[in-house]
Amino acid sequence: MSDLVAVILAAGKGTRMKSKLPKVLHKVGGKPMVEHVLQAAEASGARKKIVVVGFGSEKVTEFLGKRAEIVLQKEQLGTGHAVLQAEPLLQEFVGTILILCGDTPLLEGQELKSFYEEHKASGAAASVLTACTHNPTGYGRILREDNNNVMGIVEEKDASDEQKTICEINTGIYCVEAPLLFEILHTLSCDNAQGEYYLTDILFKLREKGQKICGIVTKDFPMIMGINSRRQLAEAESIMRGRILDKLMDNGVTIMDPASTFIEATVEIGADTIIYPFTWLEGQTNIGEGAIIGPQVRLTNVEVGSETQLQFLYGHDCKVEKQVTAGPYVHLRPDTVIRDNVKIGNFVEVKNSTVGVGSKLPHLTYIGDSDIGSGVNMGCGCITVNYNGKKKYRTIIEDNAFVGCNSNLVAPVKIGEGSFVGAGSTITKDIPANALGVGRGRQITIKDWAEKYRNS
Ligand code: UD1
Ligand code: CA
């Protein structure tokens, strides 16, 4: 076990986001920002993760569940005060504390690991991860002496005009030795432009005490980007999106147009699958190999089998198995299972139903609360009438049944195996196996009627 513990600061309101949602719960790549930071902390090798919560603490705590230990910062008095709240959980701890902010979603574990290793190798009491950028606005600036040693950090709001021109910024990521960290935190004051207990001030304090402090520069500025506004959120989203798509392409997925493809970090896709433009893949969506998805497909929590082809389709909370073709203009709603080799055509909606192997729903059909067997053919414009205004009922269509065009199957009703339904029927009673059910007005034909009508 390493002697590394991570403390993640997530108590701030995120005033600049102008949101009711705590800042760290805003999503990037489909996951709350704090989730990304937590994952990076896990990958860094930290043996314990402590998250400091405050604004919207119930929501953040609920999201974190058992994944981290939680401490409450009742009043948000600054980043230094926030870290101090973790002290009771680290009373006996001797080792390094990796301090992270919950608003840096692009962070990666490997970066943290090497930062920690460099810190250890330097023998410093505290190290800060820094980055150089053309646009340092909003970040604390790193102050260095002529010999390049770090002196401390000055916040933008406290910086002189000259200090504001410094391009090396504080990423808000630190490694600090404990118990020294807490000893210093107790001595912080809030005598600054924001009246807050700044964590950044620990560097000045440590230096004053003759401790070694170290500034380690990362080359990857976007990785440490802190999100304070919706604009920065969009910027991070775009970077994250590029990363996700790159990873998928590296794993053998073809993305026809990365600029119009939106895939969340939670999605998995097999090799040789092709993603056409204007496609959104979200949540727990999992796609097999050799599939063709898009154009214009949105899938949220959908499991898709190999070699399935979907176009112009919206599916959510459902499963589509192997070698299915569906679309254009299909809506697959929750609790639907589409089995292998099914064909679903234009303008079809399926809800809370199972469609068996090789069945066909080619055109203009609504299937709700139904169990359809295999080899079933539903003609154009079939409707399962599943709702009487009070309750929903199921329709059962057994294997190899053939339902003629424009039929209504009024549930609860069962169409037996291999039987036929005459086109235009409204079926209200069960049809046994191998039978024909017809339920419609009989046609009458009156000769010469039209001529008489016109002359009347
Ligand atoms: C902070 C740093 C700044 C650095 C930047 C990097 C300080 C004083 N400044 O500024 O030098 O360049 O991060 O992104 O540390 N938080 C709490 N409790 C509080 C206040 C903040 O938990 O009382 C949390 C926030 O939820 C956030 C993190 O600490 O996750 C950083 O706070 P934020 O207000 O975003 O600090 P910055 O102004 O960005
Ligand atoms: Ca910030």
Q: Which atom of ligand 1 is nearest to the CA of 201?
A: 8
Mutation to probe ligand 1, out of 59, 101, 154 (largest number of atoms < 8 A from CB)? 101
Mean pLDDT of 323-346: 98
User: pLDDT by residue (tens digit) across 272-301?
Assistant: 999 999 999 999 999 999 999 999 999 999
Predicted local confidence at residue 212, as pLDDT: 97
Predicted local confidence at residue 96, as pLDDT: 98
Residue type, 394: R
In the numeric block, which tokens belong to residue 426?
């409204």
CA angle 403, 404, 410 (to 5 degrees): 60
Ligand 1 close to Cβ of residue 103 (< 6 A): yes
Ligand 1 close to Cβ of residue 101 (< 6 A): yes
Measured in Å, residue 234 CA sits from the centre of ligand 2 at 15
Beta bridge partners of 131: 169, 218
Give the active site residues.
363
User: pLDDT by residue (tens digit) across 93-133?
Assistant: 999 999 999 999 999 999 999 999 999 999 999 999 999 99
Predicted local confidence at residue 1, as pLDDT: 46
* Residue nearest (by alpha carbon) to ligand 1 atom 19: 78
- Measured over the CA atoms of residue 197, residue 57, residue 235 and residue 172, the dihedral's sign is positive
List CB contacts of 171: < 8 A, sequence separation 6 or more.
104, 128, 129, 130, 131, 218, 224, 226
User: pLDDT by residue (tens digit) across 231-250?
Assistant: 999 999 999 999 999 999 99
Q: Is the pLDDT of residue 208 over 70?
A: yes
Q: Which atom of ligand 1 is nearest to the CA of 102?
A: 30
User: pLDDT by residue (tens digit) across 360-405?
Assistant: 999 999 999 999 999 999 999 999 999 999 999 999 999 999 999 9
CA angle 290, 295, 299 (to 5 degrees): 75
Ligand 1 close to Cβ of residue 9 (< 6 A): yes
Mean pLDDT over each residue of the chain, to the nearest integer: 97
pTM of structure: 0.90
Predicted local confidence at residue 13, as pLDDT: 86
In the numeric block, which tokens belong to residue 175?
């490694």
User: pLDDT by residue (tens digit) across 60-104?
Assistant: 999 999 999 999 999 999 999 999 999 999 999 999 999 999 999
User: pLDDT by residue (tens digit) across 138-160?
Assistant: 999 999 999 999 999 999 999 99
Predicted local confidence at residue 2, as pLDDT: 66
Ligand 1 close to Cβ of residue 12 (< 6 A): yes
Ligand 1 close to Cβ of residue 56 (< 6 A): no
Contact 182, 90 (CB under 8 A): yes
User: pLDDT by residue (tens digit) across 158-172?
Assistant: 999 999 999 999 999
Predicted local confidence at residue 166, as pLDDT: 97
